[in-house]
Amino acid sequence: MSLYAEPRAVADLSQCIFYHAMDLPGIGFARGNWDLRQRFERYTGGVDFAGKRTLDVGTASGFLTFEAERRGAEVVSFDSTSPALHHGVPYLHVRRRRGVTQADASDFEGIRNAYWTAHHAFGSRARCHYGDVYNLTDELGEFDVVLVCQILVHLRDPVAALTSIAARCRGKLVITEGMIDSEHPVAVFLGHHDQPERYPNNSWWHYSTTLYRQVLDILGFEVVYFEWNNYPWENATGQKHIFKLGTMVAERIAPHT
């Protein structure tokens, strides 16, 4: 089996679901939940991408991949092999589903279609690897920059994921997430058992800045930059929200093995 996915030809834009808003050459504006078009530098901590081998973890429709590539990076995009690898908060309605629903599969394929549509529109040379975030293969090699942006909130075990991801990073690790501003190493569980239908079943945790620093220290990294910023979000029905996210840049100071 090839390490990298074969590019996918997508004939119909209606088969695409864009996670981030993008301006696509020859196509036009593609609406997405997050609009980071004027915010890439702050979202990625001002990291220099020129000539850097970069891994975009949880690429979704690929916005960070294509922006890093535009700035001179050689990018590998990563995403899940299957929606079956996405663990939902075990609300009753999630337990009753007993596996991947047709809607889950459709959304998963729609986001993948959006990635390949944008890949073609930008004439991208980025390669895409599908796998398991908890077990990133050594075959991917090591990267100068690794982007971990708005994916940890959706994972049941962020520490296990970071351990796997960090092993692929020889340089700078960029984490942008909802975080808790606290001097204590704590985590907040985002599930709400009293009204589960009101809350997404794919949001698990927010970690404190101190907890991230301690985990990164264990993994051989030193935090060299941190900043809070606000980002606009909008869903398909037009509901809008401003999210405050922290961006933490950590640099490897110790070997991972």
In a domain, 9, yes or no: no
Query: What would the pLDDT profile of 131-175 be if each residue is shown by its tens digit?
Result: 999 999 999 999 999 999 999 999 999 999 999 999 999 999 999
Q: Which residue segment(s) compose the domain that 219 sits in? A: 14-252
In a domain, 7, yes or no: no
Quick one: tokens of 148?
């971990």
In a domain, 2, yes or no: no
The number of domains in the chain is 1
In a domain, 103, yes or no: yes
In a domain, 8, yes or no: no
Record the pTM. Answer: 0.94
CATH code (residue 182): 3.40.50.150
Find, among 23, 17, 25, 48, the residue nearest to 37 by Cα.
23
What distance in Å separates the CA atoms of residue 94 and residue 145, rounded to the nearest whole number? 35
In a domain, 70, yes or no: yes
In a domain, 245, yes or no: yes
Q: Are 132 and 75 in contact (CB under 8 A)?
A: no
Quick one: tokens of 21?
């808003």
In a domain, 34, yes or no: yes
Query: What would the pLDDT profile of 83-140 be if each residue is shown by its tens digit?
Result: 888 888 888 777 887 777 777 778 889 999 999 999 999 999 999 999 999 999 999 9
